[in-house]
Amino acid sequence: MRTLLYVTTFLGLIGLAFWAYRENYETQAALDNVERLHRDIADARARLAILKAEWAYLNRPDRLRDLAEINFPRLELLPMRPDQFGRVDQVSYPVTQPLVVMEPIDVSSAGATQ
């Protein structure tokens, strides 16, 4: 009987050692994956910062003004004036009709049966 207990304990110990070994490697793989994702995110943020800088550089008002002047014969772009904008009172809103309830519905819990 003692031998069976020792063998069972030994097999359980081997099983737990195998489980711990496998969990350790899975954890290391997950940590490596997280580290790779952090590097990818940092790279993406660096690319985004570069793209924002390029966008700001390309949208400089003096550059856009020069481009508008160079391409005026083709595009006929003119500077915007305040009189080109509309007023709020010129906006037509849809006419709303009042909601008519023909048969009221009881939504209170007083009419509920259990």
Q: Per-residue pLDDT tens for 61-110?
A: 999 889 988 988 898 888 788 888 888 888 888 888 888 878 877 777 76
Q: Is the pTM of this model over 0.75?
A: no
Is residue 76 within 8 A of residue 69, CB to CB? The reply is no
- What's the pLDDT score for residue 49? 97
Is residue 27 within 8 A of residue 35, CB to CB? The reply is no
Element (H, E) at 15: helix 2-58
* CB burial string 90-112: b at 16+ within 10 A, e below: eeeeeeeeeeeeeeeeeeeeeee
- What's the pLDDT score for residue 90? 84
Tell me which DSSP letter residue 99 carries: P
Half-sphere CA count of 80, side-chain side, radius 13 A? 4
